[in-house]
Amino acid sequence: MKALKGVFDEKDCPFDTLEDIDFKPMTDYYIKKDEERKNRSKEEKKAEKDKRLELIKLYGHAIVDDRIENVSKFETEPPGIFHGRGEHPLIGTLKRRIWPDDVTINISESATPPICQMPGMAWGQVVHRHGATWLASYKGNTEQNNIKYLFLDDTSKFKAESDKKKYEKARRLKSYIEAIRRDYTAKIQDTKSVFNNQLGTATYLIDILALRVGNEKGEDEADTVGCCSLRVEHITFEEDNKITLEFLAKDSMKYKNTVKVDEKVYQNLRKFVVGKKPDGDLFDLINSTKLNEYLKSIMPDLSAKVFRTYNASITLQNMLNKLNESKVTTVEARVQFYNDANREVAILCNHQRTAPKNFTAQLEKVQEQLNEKIQQRKELADYVNALKKGKKPKKVTTDIKLPKTAKQGTAQLEKLDKSISSMENKLKAKEANKEVALGTSKINYMDPRISISWCKDKEVPIEKIFPKTLRSKFFWAMQIEPTWQF
């Protein structure tokens, strides 16, 4: 209602609650439009596709340093209702329409600005930022008005170089990590400086728990926090040096984790909360800037952000190295092994997703199919045993092709066993991944060379691990040797 009253005058919006408004005409309109879309003729579908291709010709490519690169997304966000994730405070608010004069175009001085499709309107600004990699920007269409950027596609040379540098920096951290841990452990144990205690303890949490460093938020932004912006209310102390951290992380997704920490870390955290109110800062003497300055003093260009990439990558590498090739022999089983390792990384990084609305129905459908297969297997086994003994087989109630000989039946049983095992793994994985987003760590945090070299070494087709989009994004990593390690 707040969003509606912000758009309409009071006289045009005399309602106090959404229950007072009849949305049926709007619902009927969109149902009708959806039916029309589903019933489009081949000619209409082709016309839409041709129109889309024309737009791609106009806006889908850019020439950078005499090289043609694909543009990632060349459309602004449409108006609508902000869905958000987790417990975002702006959920349900209206997203306004973006107009051409909201947009800033970034091109070279000699280039012609792209055509503005709206007659009588023009781009807000045309700038020439040679050091920037964004092609256009605009103020977001929510109340936050944060700046959105349009970039080159993930397959571009610039993105590839940026990705490679990011993962190489994380890999370089491996050479410094023991020195960093010795240093922050000394700060944790420092008996004279509370500042050092806070700096060492915060670095410990970022390293061990893969927490984001955290930055200050504006009043109109979601109350998301990271390590340095934790408050007293976000921590609970348990027995046996265990702490529970509970707060809203990035994208307003809840982070809740109970973990046993080093005894001195536990003591420090207890000390940091003394005399503070629930909304008081846990780490009141440091911030993200001071923490990053400290890290840079040990390793050039190091920031807290690099720890997440490092921890995600080293965790994946260590887990994949545990594969027992003599027991996990099939491609399917090895893919499942990889996905299990991927899930552990996603959980470490708190990469969550909201379970699909029809998740339960999907799960029940797979379970029904599995139950049917199990019943088929039981009846087929009885049928084959009867054939072997020369007896008359029992009547089969399931829809299954019956073998003519016991030998054919045995082969059919083996095939059915594989199918059942596959479905059981699928069901187990589906349940385990209900609220875990595997893609985020795979796209942004785990060095792709780990996955590619492992696939080559274990003879797993890369397309079983990386979809086409990721194979294109990580083209620079495809030539890595099978023996490569992070």
For 454-478, the DSSP string reads: HHHHHT--GGGTS-HHHHHHTGGGT
Neighbours of 352 (CB within 10 A): 20
Tell me which residue has tokens 């087929």: 380
Q: Are strands 103-106 and 125-127 parallel, antiparallel or unpaired?
A: parallel
The pairing of beta strand 67-70 with beta strand 94-95: unpaired
Active site residue 445: yes
Both tokens assigned to 367:
């379970």
> Which is catalytic among the residues 138, 184, 383, 445?
445
The Cα 402–Cα 409 span in angstroms is 8
Single-letter residue type at 275: G
Assigned token pair, 333 = 């089983």
- Work out whether the CA dihedral 282, 283, 285, 288 comes out positive or negative: negative
Write the DSSP string, 136-150: EEEE-SSTT--EEEE
Burial class (CB in 10 A: 0-12, 13-18, 19+), 341: buried
- Measured CA to CA, the distance from residue 1 to residue 15 in angstroms comes to 8
| Residue among 184, 214, 171, 445 at smallest CA distance from 297 | 184
Q: From CA 400, how far away is CA 419, in angstroms rounded?
A: 14
Q: How far is CA 424 from the centre of its chain?
A: 25
- In sequence order, the 6+-apart residues with CB closer than 8 A to the CB of 143 are 90, 93, 220
What letter represents residue 375's amino acid? Q
Q: Note whether 75 and 101 are within 8 A (CB).
A: no
Tell how far CA 427 is from the center of its chain: 21
Alpha carbon distance 358, 363 (integer Å): 9
Owner of token pair 């997703």: 353
Which ranges constitute the DSSP H helices of 390-463?
406-432, 438-444, 448-458
Catalytic positions are 445
